[in-house]
Structure 1
Amino acid sequence: MAKSADRRHKRAPGGRPGQFRIIGGEWRSRRLAVPALEDVRPTPDRVRETVFNWLAPVIAGARCLDLYAGSGALGLEALSRGAGEVIFVDQAPAALRQLAANLELLRCDRGRTVRMDAAGYLEGPATRFDVVFLDPPYRRGMLAPALARLVARGWVGAASVVYLEHEAGAAPPALPPGWVLARSAAAGQVRYHLARFEPHTAGET
């Protein structure tokens, strides 16, 4: 079977095979199943811990998009920490079934799954998100084009933040005009960033 374009191509250090752990919030320390798909790996614990420390001022009540959702670890972490809504987008049916099962297990009605190719989803009618988790498969050159679509089609705006993740050996992605990397870090084979819009960098007053 061909690999889904929405699967995560990374390996998470630590943790039990087939599971990941919620780091903080309402479901702290809960372990949830990972879909039984080749190359689907949750974003590592230490990365999520840092990212959600960065997002602490904005995550409560936020409307979030987990694009290329895979295990859904980022979106589920956001829900645990009080996000108002998370849309999980992936084209692999098994990934979405496991996500739906995890949401049911947590008795959470603030998450919704969408079976669709990420590029196709971004071509649909846009609604604004406060936080977007953008973690496409590595080494395919997908990160910069996906961010460009998010911005150009109005999925994110001046108050939004976008999480970007890529392999450690790659340079950060090119950003649309006015967007900057507000935070950056690395852990093992993962590099990750938060991008924000800063009008003065686009020549605005």
Structure 2
Amino acid sequence: MSKISHHQLRIIGGEWRSRRLRFPAIDGLRPTMDRVRETVFNWLQHDVEGCRVLDAFAGSGALGFEALSRGAKEVIFLEKHPAAAVQLKENLQTLGASNAQVWAGDALLWLTQNPEPFDLVFLDPPFGKNLLQPALDSLQLLPGALIYVEHEATLKPQFPDKWQELKCKNTKEFYFRLFEVEEP
């Protein structure tokens, strides 16, 4: 069995600011960049504390760890790759975070079987795998929920009608957006 090399990410705000966490070097695993995370959490600055968070397609867990560091009540990490899921669990232990769980399995399967209410959802699936639209179609959220979506620039996802886009930025490679589920 070959040894997996590791990379590091830095938590940029909150209780664990400047803490570095390891993540495995896995093809296609791309943690949300520091400057993008900083923008996203500036958008969310008053909306993270005390909320239930879902980090679907967690990968390195950068978004979920950032939410925990900033006072999220609970974070559920969904990650299919076994090495990434193990590293997420190890990082939670390192931080002493007892208010988070890692579900090692298919995020789309979990979404269809667990229509739980979350206050904040991070959707940043691996690029080029056609996972975003099925995830969007599977999410069942209550009014007021916030959804962060990151997707490749070439993708034209169909967002649910009841989602209001609050913020949107893009680079040449990808878009990152924040939505809120509207009241009926």
TM-score by length of 2: 0.91
Q: How far apart in 2 are the matches of 1:21 and 1:58?
A: 21
- 1:142-180 residue CA offsets vs partner (Å, 9 max, x unmatched): 2122112103xxxx1101011100123333x21112212
Match of 1:42 in 2: 31
Contact kept, 8 Å, 1:136 with 1:142, in 2: the verdict is yes
Match of 1:142 in 2: 131
1:129 match: secondary structure: coil
Contact kept, 8 Å, 1:67 with 1:118, in 2: the verdict is yes
Q: How far apart in 1 are the matches of 2:35 and 2:153?
A: 15
2:89 match: secondary structure: helix
| Aligned residue runs from structure 1 range 23-172, under 5 A | 23-151=12-140, 156-171=141-156
| 1:195 equivalenced with 2:184 (yes/no) | no
Q: Which amino acid aligns with 1:112?
A: Q
Match of 1:10 in 2: none
- 1:27-74 residue CA offsets vs partner (Å, 9 max, x unmatched): 111111012322212110011000011111210011000001111010
Larger strand proportion of the pair: 2
Q: Which amino acid aligns with 2:102?
A: T
Contact kept, 8 Å, 1:36 with 1:94, in 2: the verdict is no
Q: Tell me how far 1:107 sits from its aligned partner.
A: 1.1
Contact kept, 8 Å, 1:132 with 1:163, in 2: the verdict is yes
> RMSD of aligned C-alpha atoms?
1.5
Q: Which amino acid aligns with 1:165?
A: E
Contact kept, 8 Å, 1:71 with 1:95, in 2: the verdict is yes
1:127 match: secondary structure: coil
Q: Tell me how far 1:122 sits from its aligned partner.
A: 1.1
Q: How far apart in 1 are the matches of 2:56 and 2:114?
A: 15
TM-score by length of 1: 0.82
Q: Which amino acid aligns with 2:112?
A: E
Q: How far apart in 2 are the matches of 1:135 and 1:122?
A: 14
Q: How many residues align?
A: 179
Gaps of 5+ in 1: 1-16
Q: How far apart in 1 are the matches of 2:166 and 2:45?
A: 14
| 1:185 equivalenced with 2:174 (yes/no) | no
Q: Which amino acid aligns with 1:88?
A: F
Q: Which amino acid aligns with 1:47?
A: V
